[in-house]
Amino acid sequence: KATCFAYGQTGSGKTFTMQPLPLRAANDLVRQLHRPVYRNQKFKFWLSYSEIYGGELYDLLGDRKKLLMREDGRQQVCIVGLQEFEVSDVQISLITHSSSHSKRRRDGSNQA
């Protein structure tokens, strides 16, 4: 599992900084899968995309519903209700398109 996380005030450049990271990470994963040592392995990719905005947690790939963050019995943080989708190595390279669904862009909070 991997997580990319950006924190900061509105207009500080989080989106600009983070936008290329998921695509680069996805491309690196796909490139690794095509190495001879991994070629015969049965790897699966699962993708979820969430956003914390205004103190609320949202699912950006689902129906943008509010989510709850909890800690399980093993002290692992879980996002209750966050949808995960299995993706192919072709689909994974399109991750950055999901950022267009972010609440920040929908309500214009970064407009001057």
Looking at residue 72, which CATH number applies to its domain?
A: 3.40.850.10
Higher pLDDT, 69 or 20: 69
Bind-site residues for ATP: 8-15
Overall pTM surpassing 0.75 (yes/no): no
* pLDDT single digits (tens) 21-79: 777 777 787 788 788 888 788 877 787 888 888 889 998 887 778 899 999 889 988 89
CA distance 70 to 16: 29
Asked if residue 72 belongs to a domain, the reply is: yes
Is 70 exceeded by the pLDDT of residue 16? yes
Bind-site residues: 8-15
Question: Looking at residue 70, what is its pLDDT?
Answer: 92
Question: Looking at residue 112, what is its pLDDT?
Answer: 46
Asked if residue 22 belongs to a domain, the reply is: yes
Please state the domain count of the chain: 1
CA distance 69 to 62: 16
Asked if residue 46 belongs to a domain, the reply is: yes
Could you list the residue range(s) of the whole structural domain that residue 85 is in? 14-107
Asked if residue 1 belongs to a domain, the reply is: no
Asked if residue 51 belongs to a domain, the reply is: yes
Contact 99, 19 (CB under 8 A): yes
Asked if residue 8 belongs to a domain, the reply is: no
Question: Looking at residue 109, what is its pLDDT?
Answer: 52
